[in-house]
Amino acid sequence: MEAERTLRGEELTQLGELAAQLRVDAIRCSTRAGSGHPTSSLSAADLMAVLIARHLRYDWVNAGNRANDHLIFSKGHASPLLYAVLRAVGAISEQELMETYRQLGSRLQGHPTPALPWVDVATGSLGQGLPVGVGIALAGQYLDHLPFHVWALCGDSEMAEGSIWEALDKAGHYGLRNLTAIVDVNRLGQRGPTELEWDLDTYRRRVEAFGCHPIVVDGHDLAAIDDAFGRARQATGPTVVLARTIKGKGVPDVENQPGWHGKPLKHDMAERAVQALGGVRQIRVAGPRPEPSPPAEAPAAPPLELPRYEKGEQVATRNAYGDALRALGSRPDVVALDGEVSDSTRADKFGEAYPDRFFEMFISEQQLVAAAVGLQVRGYRPFAATFAAFLSRAYDFIRMAAISRADIALSGSHAGVEIGADGPSQMGLEDLAALRAVQGSTVLYPSDAVSCAALVAQMADRKGIVYLRTTRGKYPVLYDNGDDFPIGGSKLLRGGKTDDVALIGAGVTVHNCLAAADELAREGITARVIDLYSVKPLDQQRLLDAVRDTGGRLVVVEDHYPEGGLGSAVLEALADLAGPVRVKHLAVHGLPTSGTSAQLMDQAGIGVHAIVSAARALA
């Protein structure tokens, strides 16, 4: 193909002119904005010039073309270069680049986001673009079976991030021949030299150790870059182009000089640099286009048949999650990912039924979430599961997924002190707070198998980050098969117009509330019991009704630390209430130890006796 033959002298000249234009535009837009990272852009300009002109197969008129390659700026701070690329290919205008970069309401934000249709995911938190690229490449090689290639431009500073090596490890494990990381080794980070500076041999050996093929190249030799990209495209496994570059290349005042990271050139310096680079150009690039591919097939899935459970049957909600996920497997867009705990989260039930759509990320929680984000880029609906506590390792990936407008489903099992003897290292006690804080997220915490299965079914079509918290132990089924559990709703399990107090729980504490209500009834105290299975969004009307009917006497019980969880959600929902509210908030105070579930809940003050005491004090 055109991109694979040897370059002629005239073509090298044209590529040099294109690289100069990319540099000039990166300088101009960042100087005009008064902020940005031009020097980080200048070092990679030659790499991007060769890529977009010769190797990136992309239909710029149709960003949704399923055969398009994917270009991810893992070093998202080099956005001036990305936006210069978009101008060069005709995707954006010079006016938009020059007048809107980093301005309020602009698509051209300081770091890339999918506000631009050519940007798959938000980047800027370093170490994330390449791991997401692994997820996209998994989809291409194992699900779509299309010949597109994933190119991820990485900075050498982010090579210190563990997530980069998780990504390369999984790329090697899955033999992702459609993935190439391009590492811009410009030696300088934000505050000075990077860890390895220009030690390309150490980079090479590390890349090889993780099962990927390194290609070492002079990042300013256009012919060598072209050869490297051609070899990467034809490789039989994942490749890493290690490009030795100079930060600030093309501007002698800042070339290879520390102290210029994240600083635009002042106007007089920018004018000199633009002139030295040959001035403003109007080059338009017509790079290679993707090969025609058949339209995506959308085979009709059979009607969803959720698992059924007998009322009173003892079932763990983690088991119900696995059952419901397996049922959802009838939909060809549903995929599942595991962090090597699928026999505990019960995601293995999906893996047994649909092995071709089950991806094992092993103990790599950052890659677990990143791969899910990448898979949803290609239109799949990923469900990623691990212990609730271990999702904290991937929290920044979840946060960035929300900025990417990603639609992913997460499940955290083994939540709270309820897990028992394993002790506090395994107890998710911060997860509700963390996931509630994610922009646009949905947080669900079912109390029984029927509600859990119904909520899992809704997760498949819910926008944004959707989190389901499951319980390790077995508890009685409370609801009838077919009961409705709308997201944003709740269930009233006990109650009337003359209740003395309301007991409010979610998940395991609902069962404690029911037992407490029985004991209170024997004392002549009537307790309403509310199952707030939807923690975010919350059923505010149900709470307002409880305040009205009980005279404002509420007991909120959660198997979670007191900060940011169910109690916080309830109090936030009632913050503007005019009438008086008296709330007893029972949560896990102090550091738990090992013990039985009952012992630990009693010790934490969220067991039946603690609930009865709190309700008695209010009533």
Residues classed as catalytic: 365
User: How far are the Cα atoms of 56, 494, 535 from residue 611, in angstroms, in the given order?
Assistant: 62, 15, 20
What is the 3-class SS of 423-479, one letter each residue?
Answer: CHHHCECCHHHHHHCCCCCEEECCCCHHHHHHHHHHHCCCCCEEEEECCCCCEECCC
In single-letter form, the type of residue at position 595 comes to G
In single-letter form, the type of residue at position 85 comes to V
Q: Give CA–CA dist 532/485, Å, rounded.
A: 10
Residue closest to 471 by CA, chosen among 514, 431, 438: 431
- For the chain, first and last CA: distance in Å? 80
> How would you classify the pairing of strands 70-73 and 150-155?
parallel
User: How far are the Cα atoms of 189, 490, 540 from residue 486, in angstroms, in the given order?
Assistant: 49, 8, 14
Query: Could you tell me if 401 and 441 are in contact, meaning their C-beta atoms sit under 8 angstroms apart?
Result: no
- Cα angle: 104, vertex 83, 176; to 5 degrees: 120
Could you tell me which residues are beta bridge partners of residue 180?
A: 151, 239
Structure-token pair, residue 465: 């980050």
Q: Give CA–CA dist 436/429, Å, rounded.
A: 13
User: How far are the Cα atoms of 6, 133, 252 from residue 9, in angstroms, in the given order?
Assistant: 10, 34, 25
Largest CA distance in the chain: 94
User: How far are the Cα atoms of 515, 546, 571 from residue 582, in angstroms, in the given order?
Assistant: 22, 12, 10
In eight-state DSSP terms, residue 59 is -
Query: Which residues 6+ apart lie within 8 Å of 570 measured at CB?
Result: 504, 532, 538, 543, 554, 556, 583
- Tell the burial category of 603 from Cβ atoms under 10 Å away from its Cβ (0-12, 13-18, 19+): middle
Q: Give CA–CA dist 45/218, Å, rounded.
A: 13
